[in-house]
Each structure stands twice: as C-alpha cells, then as structure tokens.
Chains A and B, each alone.
Chain A
Amino acid sequence: MRRLPVYLLLDTSGSMTGEPIEAVKNGVQVMISSLRQNPQAIETAFISIITFDSVAKQVIPLTDLASFQMVDIKATGTTCLGEGLKLVSTCIDNEVAKTTAEQKGDWKPLVFIMTDGIPTDDWQSGLEEFKKRKTAYTVACAAGSGADSNLLKQITENVVSLDTADSQSIAKFFSWVSASIGVTSTKVEDAGKEVTGLSELPPPPSELNIVV
C-alpha cells in the first residue's frame, strides 16, 4: 500500500506561548478527527509532527491516522526553523519508502510549515537540505505579523498568511490543511495522480491570505 506521508512542521518558540500554542494543539486534534471520517484519508494518510524552538524535535513519527495520538507541546525558546527543515529532510529519508522494481513506494510527502516569527538560526543551510528532498507540495503559513512571508517564499512558492495568530485563524488554517490532505488522498487513490500545488487544493478560507 502506498502511504501519503504528511509532515507538520510547527513553530513552538516562546512567542507561541498561550493562545497560539493551545490553538495549534487543538487544530491538530480537530484535523485528525475530521480526517478519520474520510475513508481515503484514513487508509492512506500518515502524519508526523515536528516542532522547532531552540531545537527541532520529531514529537510524533510518521503515524497512521487510526493510531495517531496528539502529544502535549509547549512553547519555549527561540525559532530554529533551519533545524526544523533539516530534521524534516532526514525524516523523509528515513520514513518515506522509495519505489523500486519490487515494491511500490509511498506517495511524495506533503509538508505544512507554520511559524509566527523570524528564524533565529542559519535557516538557509536547512533550506538547502530540504530542497534536495522531493515533496508533492510544501505549504508555509506565516501566522501573525511577526512572521516574514517573503522569507517563507524562499522555502516554497505556496505561502499563506494569517493576519493574527489567534485561535480562530489558527483553527481555520488547520481545517484547510485537513481539507487539503483529504483532497490529496482522494486524488492519489482515485486518479493515481499527485497534487502539485496550491491551485489544486481547496480554496483557503478568508482568514488565509495567499501570498503572491
């Protein structure tokens, strides 16, 4: 069976303390519950959560939706986005199966990045690593005015922004992520085709601005 790997790369730096981090946790929970109701997603989508603050950590390895359990995450420290990008690259290497003559590999992974600040580390070297990996698409979300969407544009062409990192906006972001995973899992199963960009995903809600 070909899995659809999904990596959520989440900013857990100190500035996320309080409402934003709670909204992120809640957003992931709601996303998982709703994806569990989608027959194609529950069979194909595998989710991993990677957090980055002063360090990057894979808090949940690539896990099928049926066994997925959200863990508690806390906001603290700086914004090592570069470390996060490096880590997601090694996770893709280790977890995503490649197609060979004897086995069908996984679908190309989807990566969703959410950050509310400016990276504090050497993020370009992380980006260099990340660029070497093939993803179906990468979406970056600049949450609130502290994030730099132009910087995220260098990571991926698919950048969305939230005016404020409040719980409602964050919830909307995750429900859109959920819909996007749903659509992608249907497409890969139905048409055997991968989704490649924002244009093939469901239209984002009004809280999400597409950064051109």
Chain B
Amino acid sequence: MSDAKQLLTQLFKNNNINVPANRMNLFDKFLQDEQNIAAINTINQNQDWLMTKWKLQDRIAEIMQQPVRILNASVGKSYEAKFDFEKFGWKDITAYEFEGLEEAGLLYDEKTKQITGNPTQSGDIKIVFKFKLEAQPEDAPLNEKIITLIINPDPKSLWKNLESDKNDPYWKEDDVSVFAPIGDRHILVSSKRGRAHANVGSFREDDFAFKYLENGWSIVVVGDGAGSAKISRKGSALACNSVVDYFMEKSSVENMKEFDEFLQQHKTNPDEDTLKKLNHFVYNHLGKAVFYVHKQLEEFTTKEGFPLKDLNSTLVFTLFKKYDIGYALLSFGVGDCPMAVLNKNVSKIINLNWIDVGEFGGGTRFITMPEIFKNEKFPTRFNFKLIDDFSYLILMSDGIYDPKFVVEANLPNIKTWQKFLEDLGGKNEDRIKVELRVDNKDIVEQLSRWMDFWSIGNHDDRTLAIVF
C-alpha cells in the first residue's frame, strides 16, 4: 500500500468512513487526482512540522526540568566547578550564554568546561543559562534555564567583634600581651578573648599572672574561667592573683627558705629520702597556696552573694628558681591547661601536670570545687622537677591546647612540641613569626598577631605564656 493510500485509509477510518471493496477502484483513482495528491502532501508536511515542533518543545522542557547541580562556592575561596554540556547530555545546544555569573565574580571557560573565579558575595545566586538548540531557527530567542549557585559566606566574615561592656563590675581587657623580665629569664605572655566571645560581646574568661618574688623564685599562673559559669572571668582573675598574693606574703617567702635547705640536702645526698622531703614540701606548701586560693574565691562569693560555682575556673601555676645545680620547678594544676618545660636543646619535654579532660559534657575540674581537695588524686596534682637548664617553660589554656595539641596523647611527644615551636617561628598558614629573642622589640606585637591564628571550630579564649 502506498504511503498516500495508507494515510487516507487511516484518516477515513478515524472518521468512520469505510471504503468497501466495490469502491476500491474509485478510491485508487481518487488517490491519483492531482489536487488530492497535493492535499495529502500538505497533510504530510503539516504533520512533520507539528512533530518536529513538538519534539523541540519537549526537548527544551526536558533541559529546563533537568536538575543541574553545581558545587557550592564560598566567598574568598577560589572556585572551580565542572559544567560539562556533554555530561549533562546537551550535545544539541548550539549557542548559549550565562547571565549572572560575572556579577558573582565567576566566568565560564568553554575549553576547560569549568566555571571558575573568586566569588565576592554570598547568597543563593540565580544564574540564567540561556541556550539554543540546533533544531531551533537562527532568529529564535534563547531559552532560559535558572540554575541556583549557592555561595557560602566567608566564615571569617561572619564573626562579629563586639567590645565587651566596660561598665561591668568584673570587666577585664579583651586582649592583653606582655613581655617582661622574670628572675634571670624573660616571660612573653598573651591572653586573648576568643572569637566565640567577641561574636556576642562577652568577656575574656582566661587570665594569667606572673611575678618575680623577692626570694629568687618566679611564678607564672594561668587560669581559664568556665564558659558555663556566670562570672568565671572574675574567678580566673581572682584565682591567678591570689596565688601570686599568697607567695608574696612574708610567711611564704620565709617558708620557701626551707626548700633551699632541702635542696641542699638533696644535692649532697641525692637519695630517696631527700627527694621525699622535697616532694613533701611541695605538696604541703603549694597545697596551702591552693587552699588559700579556694578560700579567697569562697569568701568573695559569700560576700557578693553568688554560688561558688559561678567563679568556676581552672588553675595551673609553676614556680621556678635557679640554683647552682640547675632549675627547680614546682607546680600545681587543676583543669585542662597544660604546662611543660623543654630542655636546653629542645630534645626533651617534661610535662608538669596531667590535665583534667572530661568525657563528653564538661568533665574538667575547677579550683572552685571542694571535692578536688578530698580526692585521692589530689597529691598527684603537684609536681617537683629539678633540671640542669631549660629552653622554654610553657603554660597555656585549652584555647591553645585544643587547636595545637588536640589530644592528650600529643602532650608527652617532643615532636608535637617541636612542631609547636616551629609554628611559633612562622611555619603556619599566615607566615606569622614570633622571634623569641630578648632583643626583639616587636615581640609583643608578633605574639599578639600569632595568637589570632585561624582554626576551624576553635574559637575559645587563648592564653599562652612562654618563659625563656
């Protein structure tokens, strides 16, 4: 059957017109009529035209609905994302343009099939992808497909830096950095309010104190006020200063002489007995100091009418003195602030305390907790070390420990400390260098800048004290 005959038969059938056998001759003749042939051709053409047009529109709709995902971008981070027509199955696209890419700081590179650039503004950007298919006539307008590109804000820009309230009765400076001589050494210390606090205009809760005492001893103290305690900023300040006050008192200055004697005995007789005496002295004398601090905090809260836990703060301190046989270091620690001393050529690390790292949910301990004094572990919070010489004595709050040491297992490892010193020496992302030299006039500024290092998820207050 010819195409024409088939078409017409179908057409007639659709319209319930039956061509009986006795009309077949007539039907064949009908099909050969010139006018009729022309009409059939027109029908054919129209059908083709309609089908082509439908296919085209269907294809455009298909592309429009096709989910196109492109990687999210971030402000300030160079962006690179594949936008490959072939992968999307868009071989039939003959012309295209992007609208909105340039405004977002991006460009499409046909050769590499990539969208690249440095996004400048965050938000859900609507990019208009205009395209034409090969089946479309040349003068047809471009089709428009909206593609959403998510541009994240630069996390750094989201942090606000709001000043803390200076009229607050327990206000303290947001950032403090100091360089000073201490005994026969120097101390460089910086204590900075964390971004988490700056973001909401709250206070620095860390604190520190140091002092050269008249009897040849020097003391360095660091305290970290608990985030969950209302006026822990005062707690840490009071705790740090009370320790220094205690050791400055005449009676304790006097008492320390006993240590000189014990050390002398130990020097002539370096046996267990003399060492025991020394350790005993440390436990007794420093124990009194710690109890004094606890009492000071208690008195303060009684006077002010607060519960003691409002002052919750960790407390670590080290006393050191140079003798002819080397340095004596006496220390105490409660909480999660590590203290350590490095030998002269930085090949050995001595941890001066163990740190209270709780399980999930605030397991650390504070100087305000009466139970620490009764706990069987209390004596282990004290330490006595005698070393020939040292390069650095370092005390830090968890704001430094968390990003730089991460886990306890790293604390006894000399390599982590060497890395830490290299970091201070400029081996860091921002190439900020702290030159630990006494004659370095910019030393305070250098450490202060170093302290601002960026570490994702670590925005606590930071305190770092280095004696060298």
Contacts and interface: CB of A to CB of B under 8 A. Distances in A.
Interface of A: 1-2, 33, 36-40, 42-44, 65-69, 72, 101-104, 107-108, 186, 189-194, 196
Contacts of B409: 101-102
B362 A1 contact: no
B199 A193 contact: no
B365 interface: no
A101 B72 contact: no
Given A36-B153, A102-B407, A189-B457, 20 more contacts: A1-B456, A1-B458, A39-B155, A39-B195, A39-B199, A42-B153, A42-B155, A42-B158, A65-B152, A66-B74, A68-B72, A101-B409, A103-B407, A107-B360, A186-B196, A191-B227, A192-B398, A193-B228, A193-B361, A194-B360
9 contacts: A38-B158, A39-B199, A66-B72, A67-B71, A103-B407, A190-B194, A193-B228, A193-B361, A194-B361
Given A39-B159, A67-B72, A193-B227, A101 B408 contact: yes
Interface residues of B, number: 35
Contact of B72 (A39, A40, A69, A103): A69
A91 to B, nearest CB: 19
A65 B155 CA distance: 11
Interface of B: 67, 69, 71-72, 74, 122, 124, 150, 152-153, 155, 158-159, 194-197, 199, 226-228, 360-362, 364, 398, 406-409, 456-460
Main DSSP-derived SS at the B contact region: loop
A184 to B, nearest CB: 12
A69 B71 CA distance: 9
Contacts of B360: 107-108, 194
Main DSSP-derived SS at the A contact region: loop
A199 B122 CA distance: 34
Contacts of A107: 360
Given A68-B72, A191-B226, A2 B155 contact: no
Given A192-B227, A193-B228, A37 B459 contact: no
A39 B214 CA distance: 48
A128 B228 CA distance: 34
Nearest to A2: B457
Contacts of B71: 67
